[in-house]
Structure 1
Amino acid sequence: PALVGRDLLIFVEVLLDRTTGDVFEAFAESVRRQPEVLECHMVAGGFDYLIKARVADMDAYRAFLGDVLVRMPGVRETRTYAVLEEVKSTTVLPL
């Protein structure tokens, strides 16, 4: 990530204003178009989606939050967690 200028890893909880099929689909389609977003998962619990994204730095994240994320369809509230240290990161599954 550092070699391509994406040093900051963030996780964002997203709460939608309505949980209807059309809002889910509009939000998902919007997320798919964002190159900063590495993963997006619909989850059960206190919020609707969990986003994993990489940006250059906190200024870049602030711009992404204000210009992109909160303007996505249905977004009512977000909570952001900036990663201080990656303890483990893998895509290998045990067989």
Structure 2
Amino acid sequence: MVDLDKIDRQLLRLLQDDGRLSNAELSEKVHISQATCHRRVNRLFESGLIRSVHAQIAPKAVNLGTLVIVGVVLDRSTPQSFADFEQAITQLPMILDCQLVAGEFDYLLRVRVKDIEDFNDLHAKQLIALPAVRQIRTFFVMKEVIDSALLQF
């Protein structure tokens, strides 16, 4: 773990807010030299504190306007069934997020599709065919209050 000082925290906040800031702009905003700023930002990347910088694309603009939350229950709770499911789910580019959870479901997925018909096709052909899947519960999102995930298209 990297020991973060006030300047590191400022850099992280600024880059999180706008990943397009140039090194010159960053250094000016935190009142350090460009060389020092460059070294610090590189250290934040190398340490894993900054995983990536990306553009957040408007889903409707790329015909992916429907967000679906999917609860998945596996038919058995073994390390192998979890591993098989996790390996298979990573092959589906429309899956934004997949989390192993405690509670009613084994996994929660966030899925981005064109429309309900597109999801129905995904469900019938791919989701229910995933390894060890016993049950799938679907929740269509009516309104996105917070949206910060990357799109795969």
Q: TM-score, normalised by structure 2?
A: 0.58
Gaps of 5+ in 1: none
The reply to whether residue 40 of structure 1 matches residue 98 of structure 2 is: yes
5 Å matches for 1:56-71? 56-71=114-129
SS in 1 for 2:123: helix
Structure 2 counterpart of 1:26: 84
Structure 2 counterpart of 1:54: 112
Give the C-alpha shift of residue 50 in structure 1. Answer: 0.1
Gaps of 5+ in 2: 1-58
Aligned length in residues: 91
The reply to whether residue 4 of structure 1 matches residue 73 of structure 2 is: no
Structure with the higher fraction of residues in strand conformation: 1
Deviations 1:6-34 (A, max 9, x none): 11000000000001011101100110000
RMSD: 1.0
State the identity %.
Answer: 36
Structure with the higher fraction of residues in helix conformation: 2
Deviations 1:26-79 (A, max 9, x none): 100110000110000000011100000100000000000010000000000010
Give the C-alpha shift of residue 88 in structure 1. Answer: 2.0
SS in 1 for 2:81: helix
The reply to whether residue 80 of structure 1 matches residue 138 of structure 2 is: yes
Letter in 1 for 2:142: L
Task: Give the whole-Å Cα distance in 2 for the aligned partners of 1:5 and 1:63.
Answer: 16
User: Which consecutive aligned stretches of 4+ in structure 1 deviate over 3 angstroms post-superposition?
Assistant: none
